[in-house]
Chains A and B, each alone.
Chain A
Amino acid sequence: MTGSQFLQILKCLTGESLRQAVASHLFPLLLFYSAMIITLAGTVRFTNIPEASSYEIAQRAPVEEAARVGKEELEKSGIPLIQGEIRLLFGAVKIPWVKFRENAVRYFESMLVFFTSDAVGLIFALIWTAGFIPEFLQGFWWNMLRLRPLSTGFMLLGKTFSIVIVLSLHGIILIGGSWIALGISTNVWNGLFLWSFAILVVQFICFYPASVFLGTWSRSTMVAIIGSIAFWAICWMVNQARISNLSATTAESSSGVAIWLIDIAYWALPKPIDFSIILSDLMGTIKEFPPPTAWMNALETGHIMPFASIGTSLISSVVVLWFSCMELKDPVKE
């Protein structure tokens, strides 16, 4: 197969997945969800929160300054503390704020990623795309596809890749749209927020193969939805168990065999908590919205190794995809 033929196939399958995505029952809900997130980002307003770059110590001081020099000292010098407000949804929600505008944006962004590229965003993406593979493998249509001179595994991989492209397109709209809306409404353009797009796509590549496998094995959308969410939950628990073990004192820690088993499971499965921590670190939001202490400790003590974590998660997804392809093995080659 030539490169141009490969691209042609990928283009067709992407077009098919795009139509499938738009035709899915969840698409209107997804549009509404995306519009809501972008609207939320676009309606952020700050009251009495100065920018760090234009901050004049003689006018107002952030809360850290008060902690450093002492509140009384600061009051004696006549410098007022920042006592601002973040307003969301046209003022319907008000959050008191005592730091700079940049900090406020990072704080808001760290909340936003939870709904776009972290847990909620990812689970939403998994539910949305869970039916794509079972539909693709629907009896008659799959027989039509099997009558083509290509291996069934190649077709499944092509379809999976096309779904990743569709998800990425949606990610561009959701995350790019939120970033632009937030930038316009706050005048703070934090480019690091765009890392959340990369993490969303990588996380999806790591978790979606489980849905592909379940869809291939059962040909059922419901099994793919429930199974892929359960898989994410198991991965999350294994990840949390390992972090807990790392930060546990000798008396609290699990038995040697349990630690060993958790370690094996940790390295063999995708690591959702690691992804969250890596994302917070990349975006620089970790100070504004600090994760649980155990997670912070794991990061600070070097137990979360971003490249190893992402690399092994990707390897596990390749293994699951391989099993999915085996599930579809051509009957005449058995």
Chain B
Amino acid sequence: MTECILKIENVSKAFKTIRKSKIQALDNLCLSVPKGAIIGLVGSNRAGKSTLLKLVLGLIKPDSGSITRFSKPVSDRSTLKHIGAVLESPIFPSHLTPTAILHILGSLSGIASEDLSRMIIEALTKVGLEDRQEQSVGGFSRGMTQRLLIAQAILATPPLLILDEPLEGLDFDARQKVRDLLIDWRQEGRSVILVSHELEEIEALCDRIILLANGKILRDEPIENWRGNSQGPFLQKAMQLACANTTPIG
């Protein structure tokens, strides 16, 4: 049986708007993530994808339900050292260099100083920032900032990567690097949860795709089932079909 590294059971989360009305971001959601898989999380805006990731990372608290990471409750912060994350809208302190940022984040993650310098160079090389490691990030473009964001996520080679729109702002070369990196990640037995609006990337990389709508899972199946007999891009059509015909599965 495949080891389950993340388990979400009956999780609900609602937010209050400024007008004090309630938005149900996630509604009684259940999900499990096995070891060594790339799982794509798709859905329209406000489907609940980013909320789900924040709950898994412990950045917000669920209203009900439980989340376990590596068989431990989400309140156990020690499991965070096994997770690398890319969050949306990155803004790093402009006075720091990539090396300084990775030094801080690596040290706080408990990486020993004797290994850290080597790991930083490796991570920056993987995202193509090795020649800019001592440059202040204040002058970085959106794409370079995104590369740095990915570098901090892979720094400690964690068994689980949680990526929210990781390809945003990246040029063709950088996208290819990230794609290769994720494929290697899976081959090494690690897992990835990938949220993206770029359906071609999801089609190319994921083993399993979960479609979210209004805080519920509409469809959760292996990629083969989504593809069916289609030739070429299939996800857009399949998603539209699912939204039209499927009853939420929780």
Contacts and interface: CB of A to CB of B under 8 A. Distances in A.
Contacts of A20: 93, 95
A20 B101 CA distance: 12
Chain A contact residues (Cβ within 8 angstroms of B): what range?
20 to 34
A301 interface: no
A135 B104 contact: no
Nearest to B162: A147
B140 to A, nearest CB: 14
B107 interface: yes
B85 interface: yes
Contact of B75 (A4, A19, A332): A332
A141 B93 contact: yes
B12 interface: no
B105 interface: yes
A1 B111 CA distance: 11
B146 interface: no
Interface string B68-87: 00000011011111010101
A151 B103 CA distance: 18
A147 B85 contact: yes
B92 A141 contact: yes
B236 interface: no
Contact of A332 (B61, B87, B103, B107): B61
Interface residues of B, number: 34
Contacts of A9: 107-108
B87 A12 contact: no
Nearest to A333: B75
B100 A143 contact: no
A19 B93 CA distance: 10
Given A331-B58, A331-B59, A331-B61, A149 B109 contact: yes
A104 to B, nearest CB: 43
A311 to B, nearest CB: 32
A127 interface: no
B89 interface: yes
Contacts of A144: 87, 105, 152
Interface string B101-126: 00111011110110000000000000
A149 B77 contact: yes
A253 B83 CA distance: 64
Contacts of A4: 112-113
Nearest to A334: B61
Contacts of A63: none
B96 interface: yes
B23 interface: no
B90 interface: yes
A148 B105 contact: yes
Given A145-B108, A149-B78, A149-B81, A138 B93 contact: yes
The residue in A23, A155, A334 that gathers the most chain B C-beta atoms within 10 A of its C-beta is A23
Contacts of B113: 4, 8
B91 interface: yes
B95 A23 contact: yes
B113 to A, nearest CB: 5
Nearest to A331: B61
A141 B59 contact: no
Interface string A117-142: 00000000000000000010011110
B91 A19 contact: no
Interface in A283-334: 330-334
Interface string A147-164: 111110001000000000
B230 interface: no
A28 interface: no
Nearest to A20: B95
A332 B58 contact: yes
Contacts of A54: none
A150 B77 contact: yes
A19 to B, nearest CB: 5
A235 B239 CA distance: 64
Nearest to A152: B77
Contact of A8 (B83, B94, B107): B107
Contacts of A145: 104-105, 108
The residue in A15, A16, A139 that gathers the most chain B C-beta atoms within 10 A of its C-beta is A16
B96 A16 contact: yes
A33 to B, nearest CB: 21
B86 to A, nearest CB: 10
A189 to B, nearest CB: 38
Closest 10 CB pairs of A and B: A23-B95, A148-B108, A331-B61, A149-B80, A149-B81, A12-B107, A332-B58, A332-B75, A140-B91, A12-B104
10 contacts: A9-B108, A11-B107, A12-B100, A16-B93, A19-B100, A22-B95, A140-B90, A143-B87, A144-B87, A147-B59
